[in-house]
Structure 1
């Protein structure tokens, strides 16, 4: 039988492989919050998240309408006074980028640049959808954008389960499927937005809070 000393190349290689596998296993382990950990008073959560005005989400988004489905990588950085949103293909090719500061809104798509002082008009002009971005800034956090919005809450976590709203005389419905703890805040990492024949699915891989 061939024996290897502790300092032989094979023994060192085995040690390196063991360390590498252990490290990768540790890095790939994600803590998923239990319902008990997620449970929080509704008003307390709303007060906490209303103060969160600077955040970034990264993930994937899908637009489904009838038999048509388009998917993209999502990057959305939001501050109190600005919006920076980018959609890219899985190969990193830019599909759409939006920069919005104050009343200046610039959107780039299909190799063209569009600008308008009304964000919803701009999006409607390019996509044909009057997407309520100002309301989505609240909805993404599971908050009402206006007092008339209606929220139903989970019996197990007390977190928002659905949100129903009318914006510009059109009906929108959100379904929050999964939550996780981010810096002790309860934030959705999987949600669905429905509007007429359009369904938007978002899978948020990362929340960055500033």
Structure 2
């Protein structure tokens, strides 16, 4: 019996040792993972904003290449998006991305059109940029994507500061009251993943009729 107890104790020590080796990432200073009292109502209201148009700038930095683009328009109609970019980077010129979750049609400046059931892979192949489009539709409104687990971090004043999801860290650098009857919307977002960075600066946001 003493041998069994000894083996059990040894096994427990191994398990506890394995658990303590898992790093527990501390909260950034001045942030909390406890949502403010109005978060549920705010997020529900923003989720209702699914017909809109915005314009601004997009900047991508990654080890292989970097570049910027003008967002001529990003029109969202429910799950369908129409994103028009202009950039001299890599000769992209005017590039249009249209799609829904799980499908994309990409048209380059020379008129060549490509379609794929893997949006991120097609965008990466055509432009060299890695853009999490299906998740970005949610992040751009200050919401986590429902596609995977996430962690929300808030400033002490209660404003959303960061979303951690799908290996990305989305930082909300600036907010602005773009639309009447809606909460403040992001005016600048920085999304980080390993050695990749995507920054979106929004200059205008308009609500569209369904």
Same fold (TM over 0.5): yes
Separation (CA, whole Å) in 2 of partners of 1:81 and 1:59: 21
Q: Give yes or no for the alignment of 1:176 onto 2:172.
A: yes
Aligned pair 1:203/2:206, yes or no?
no
CA distance in 1, matches of 2:80, 2:45: 21
Shift of 1:40: 7.9
Does the Cα contact within 8 Å between 2:131 and 2:198 map onto a contact in 1?
Answer: no
Unaligned runs of 5+ in 1: 1-38
Contact 1:103-1:118 at 8 Å conserved across structures: yes
**Separation in structure 1 between the aligned mates of residue 176 and residue 37 of structure 2, nearest angstrom:** 12
Q: Does 1:99 align with 2:95?
A: no
Q: Is the 8 Å Cα contact of residues 191 and 202 (structure 1) preserved in structure 2?
A: yes
Q: 1:104 to 1:200 in 2, by over 3 A?
A: closer
The answer as to 2:43 corresponding to 1:42 is no
Deviation (angstroms), 1:126 = 2.0
SS in 2 for 1:134: helix
Q: 1:81 corresponds to which residue? A: 79
Q: What's the counterpart of residue 11 of structure 2? A: none
1:2-26 CA-partner distances (Å, limit 9, x unpaired):
xxxxxxxxxxxxxxxxxxxxxxxxx
SS of equivalent residue, structure 2 residue 44? helix
| C-alpha distance in structure 2 between counterparts of 1:71 and 1:188, whole Å | 19
- Tell me, in whole angstroms, the C-alpha distance in 2 between the residues paired with 1:62 and 1:102: 22
Please report how far the alpha carbon of residue 132 of structure 1 lies from its aligned counterpart in structure 2 after TM superposition.
2.5
TM-score normalised by L of structure 2:
0.69
Any unmatched runs of 5+ in structure 2? 1-35
Q: How far is 1:189 from its partner?
A: 0.4
1:140 is matched with 140
Count of paired positions:
165
SS at match of 1:46: helix
Q: Name 1:155's counterpart in structure 2.
A: 156
Aligned equivalents of 1:100 and 1:160: distance in 2?
A: 28
Change in 2 beyond 3 A, CA 1:118/1:46:
same
How much has 1:43 moved relative to structure 2? 1.1
TM (normalized to structure 1)? 0.69
Match of 1:52 in 2: 49
